[in-house]
Structure 1
Amino acid sequence: MDTVTPNNDIEILLLRYISGDSSKSEREQILAWIRENSKNAQELVDLRYNLHIIEKKKKYFDTEKAITTFESKTQPKKNVSIKQILIYASSIAALILLLFAINIFISKDNTLNLLASTTESTKDIVLSDGSMVTLNKKSKLSSIETFEKTNRKLLLEGEAFFEVAPDKANPFEIKVKEVTVKVLGTAFNIFSDSLQNVVVTVKSGRVEVSYNNQIIYINQGEQVTFSGIIQKISKSNFDIANSDAWKTGQLIFSNTTLKEVVASINKNMKGKFYIATPEIESRKINAKFDYDDSLKDVEEILTVVLGVEIKNDTIYQTSNIEEYSQ
C-alpha cells in the first residue's frame, strides 16, 4: 500500500474521503495516516466539522462554484504539472473554507451567553426555568441568546448532568458538537470530547437525540453514542447505577462483569487496566469504589475478590472460580 506524506496530497485524500468518493486504496491510506499520530485523527474530525458547518451556510457561499471558476480560468504552463495546479487549487479552496469557517464561528460566538465554565472542579447550576445542571471539570455551558422559560436552548462543551424542569410547551434543547439533544423533562448525562465524540445516557425519562436528520429516542437505562471520526450514531444499554459516577464520586457494581468494571474504572478513575485473558471477562463482581481510592487499592480488591493477578495494569487469570462478590 502506498503511503501519503505531502500535506497537499493528504488534504486532497481527506476531502475525497469525507465526500465519499475515495477508493478502497485511498481509504486504507487515510486509516494508515490516522494511526501514525493521534493529531491526524483530530485534523480529520476538524475538517469534517468545518465542512459540515459550511454546508449549512451554502446559500451564502458556493464553494463548488468557486473552485470550478478557479479551474476554468487557470491554464497550465509548460513547466507546471496538472497535479501542481490541482494542489494549488485545493490549497486556495482550503484557505477560503478556513476563513469562512472562522467568520462563522466569530458570528456564532456573538450570540452566545456563557452561563458557567469549570477547570479543576465541578459546579452546580440552577437555571432560571428551575432546571438543575452539574457541570463536570473542564466544561463549559452557554445559552443560545438569552436563556428563559420560552427559550431553553443551550450549548455544551465537555460533560454535564441535567435534571430538566418539565415544560411540554417549551422543549429543553442542548447542542453538543454535531448532535442535538431535546427533552421535555428528565434526568440525563451528556459527555463529549476533543474528537467530537458524544455519549448521551438517560437516568430517568425520555430523550430525543438527533444528528444529520437521523432521530433516536432513548429511555431510562439506554444511551446514544456518536463517533466523530466515522460520523456514526448508535443506541445501546448501559449500567444506570454509574451514569453520573463523576458527580457522585462513586462507582457501584452489582453482579457486573469484569469487562464492564474495567471499562468503567478506566473511564472514571483514569485507570489503564487491560484484560489479558478473555475467559475472565465475564466473571462478575459486587463492589463499590470511591473516586479518592487509589488505583493500587482497586488492584488489591480485584485481585482478592476475583482471584486474578495484576501486573503492570494487565489482568491475568489465576483461578478457575467463575463468580465472586464483595
Structure 2
Amino acid sequence: MSSANIHMDDDLLVKYLAGEATPAEHQQVEDWVAADETNKKLFDDFKLIWDQSPVTERDVNKDDAFIRLQNRINSNVAPPRGPMIKKLSRKQWIGIAASVVLICTVLWLTFNHIYDNGSVSFVRIDSKDKVQTQSLPDGSVITLNTRSTLVYPGRFTGNIRPVSLRGEAFFKVSPDKTKPFIIKVNDVTVRVVGTSFNIKSREGKTEVIVETGIVQVSKKQNSVDLNPGEQVTVIKDQDLLAKQQSKGKLYNYYLTGQLVCDKTPLSEVVQALNEAYGAHISIANKSLESLPITTTFKGQSLDEVLDVISSTFKITVVRKNQQILFK
C-alpha cells in the first residue's frame, strides 16, 4: 500500500512534532507527507494547530487544550498555576503525551477533519489582497483584513469555540456563556463569551482593541481584562500586558471605510494612513508625533487627508518619489 493511501495516526504526528518519534517513525511521517499533496495539506493543518496552541506541563485537559498546546513541555516553561516543574522525566512526558494524543484527537474531530479515501478538510480562509467577511457555525461574524488567515472548525463541539488567526480581523462573537470563544494569535490568547473587538498581529506586535463587552487577553501566566474603549499591545518576547484607552476608531477602517480620530496622536494617524492607503508617510519632526487630532476621514483621497492634516497643524508636507514627509 502506498503512503498516499495510509491514514496517519494522530499520536504519531504528535510524537513527530514533539521530537519524540523514533528514527523509523520519523521516516514514516516524512514518507507519508512526501507521498501525496493531500497528506502534505493534512500535515500542514495539523502543524498549524500544534504551533498555534499551547499546553503547559500540567493540568492537561481537552477544554483548555487549544490555548495551552504551544508552550512545549520543557524545563523552561512555568505553568500558570502551582509550583514550577523544573524537568520532566521520560515517564512523565509519556503520560502527558498520552493526554496530548487525546487532546489532538478531540481537536481533530472539532476541526471537522473528514477522512474519505485519504482526504481531509476543515475551514481555512486566506484573505490575500481582499477584505473578507465570514460567518462561523455559531453565528459569529469575522471580517478579515488583507493578508490574514483564519482557521476554524466546521462545527463547534466540546466546551470551547476555538479559532486561530494570523494577521488582522474584527470579531463579532455570538454570546454563549457555556462555550467561551478562544482565539489563538501567535503566543497570545484571547478569550470571550460574546463581544466585538479587533485583533491585529503584524511585525511582532499583537494589538487587541475592544468595542463592546469584556475581553480577556493572556500571554503565558499574565492576563488582562479589557472593557469597551480599552486596548492592549503585546510585544514579542515581552510578557507585560498593560492596557490603555484607545483614541478613536482607526483600527476598523477596513470594516467601516472610515478613520475616526478622537484626540489621536499624529503618529497613530500616520500608521493608519499608511495601511489604509498603501502610503509611505513618515514624520521627520519628532515633536509632531504626539499632536492630537479629532476628525473623521471618510471617502477622501489621500491628498485631501494630507491637506486637512497640514492645515490643522500648520505643518509642511514634502513629497519625494513615493515618500511623504511631515516637517
- Provide the TM-score with structure 2 as the length reference: 0.58
Query: Do structure 1's residue 299 and structure 2's residue 306 form an aligned pair?
Result: yes
Amino acid at match of 2:183: I
Give the match for residue 217 of structure 1.
225
Q: Which has the larger radius of gyration?
A: 1
**CA–CA distance in 1 between the matches of 2:226 and 2:325?**
35
> How far is the alpha carbon of 1:209 from its aligned partner?
0.8
Q: Secondary structure at the match of 1:259?
A: helix
**CA–CA distance in 1 between the matches of 2:238 and 2:145?**
26
Give the match for residue 162 of structure 2.
153
> How far is the alpha carbon of 1:144 from its aligned partner?
5.6
> How far is the alpha carbon of 1:230 from its aligned partner?
4.3
> How far is the alpha carbon of 1:235 from its aligned partner?
2.1
Q: Any unmatched runs of 5+ in structure 2? A: 1-50, 55-68, 76-86, 89-103, 112-121
**CA–CA distance in 2 between the matches of 1:54 and 1:148?**
21
**Worse-superposed segment, 201-210 or 115-124:** 115-124
Q: Secondary structure at the match of 1:56?
A: coil
Q: Residues 271 and 109 of structure 1: is their aligned pair in 2 closer, same or farther, counting only changes over 3 Å?
A: farther
Query: Do structure 1's residue 315 and structure 2's residue 323 form an aligned pair?
Result: no
> How far is the alpha carbon of 1:315 from its aligned partner?
1.4
Give the match for residue 205 of structure 1.
213
Task: Decide whether the 8 Å contact of 1:128 with 1:149 is kept in 2.
Answer: no
Question: Any residues of structure 2 matched to 1:231-250 within 5 Å, and which?
Answer: 232-250=240-258
Q: Residues 199 and 178 of structure 1: is their aligned pair in 2 closer, same or farther, counting only changes over 3 Å?
A: same
Give the match for residue 276 of structure 1.
284
Give the match for residue 81 of structure 1.
none
> How many pairs are equivalent?
222
> How far is the alpha carbon of 1:208 from its aligned partner?
0.6
Q: Residues 127 and 248 of structure 1: is their aligned pair in 2 closer, same or farther, counting only changes over 3 Å?
A: same
Query: Do structure 1's residue 119 and structure 2's residue 141 form an aligned pair?
Result: no
Question: Any residues of structure 2 matched to 1:1-326 within 5 Å, and which?
Answer: 56-58=72-74, 112=111, 113-143=122-152, 146-148=155-157, 150-193=159-202, 195-230=203-238, 232-290=240-298, 293-312=300-319, 313-316=324-327
Amino acid at match of 2:72: K
Task: Decide whether the 8 Å contact of 1:144 with 1:155 is kept in 2.
Answer: no
Q: Secondary structure at the match of 1:120?
A: coil
* Higher share in helix: 1
Q: Secondary structure at the match of 1:305?
A: helix
Amino acid at match of 1:314: L
Amino acid at match of 1:269: Y
**CA–CA distance in 2 between the matches of 1:107 and 1:149?**
12
> How far is the alpha carbon of 1:253 from its aligned partner?
2.2
Task: Decide whether the 8 Å contact of 2:310 with 2:316 is kept in 1.
Answer: yes
**CA–CA distance in 1 between the matches of 2:141 and 2:153?**
17
Q: Deviations over 1:121-170 (max 9, x none)?
A: 11112222121111111222112684258541111111111111111111
**CA–CA distance in 2 between the matches of 1:254 and 1:225?**
19
**CA–CA distance in 2 between the matches of 1:54 and 1:170?**
21
Identity of counterpart residues, as a percentage?
31
Q: Deviations over 1:193-243 (max 9, x none)?
A: 2x4421111011110111111111111111121112445543222124233
Amino acid at match of 1:300: D
Q: Residues 142 and 281 of structure 1: is their aligned pair in 2 closer, same or farther, counting only changes over 3 Å?
A: closer
Q: Any unmatched runs of 5+ in structure 1? A: 1-48, 66-105, 317-326
Q: Secondary structure at the match of 1:169?
A: coil
> How far is the alpha carbon of 1:108 from its aligned partner?
11
Q: Residues 248 and 130 of structure 1: is their aligned pair in 2 closer, same or farther, counting only changes over 3 Å?
A: same
Amino acid at match of 1:215: S
**CA–CA distance in 2 between the matches of 1:300 and 1:173?**
43
**CA–CA distance in 2 between the matches of 1:142 and 1:263?**
27
Amino acid at match of 2:246: F
Q: Residues 311 and 235 of structure 1: is their aligned pair in 2 closer, same or farther, counting only changes over 3 Å?
A: same
Task: Decide whether the 8 Å contact of 2:248 with 2:260 is kept in 1.
Answer: no
Amino acid at match of 2:306: E
Task: Decide whether the 8 Å contact of 2:200 with 2:208 is kept in 1.
Answer: yes
**CA–CA distance in 1 between the matches of 2:127 and 2:219?**
27
> How far is the alpha carbon of 1:172 from its aligned partner?
0.8
> How far is the alpha carbon of 1:55 from its aligned partner?
5.3
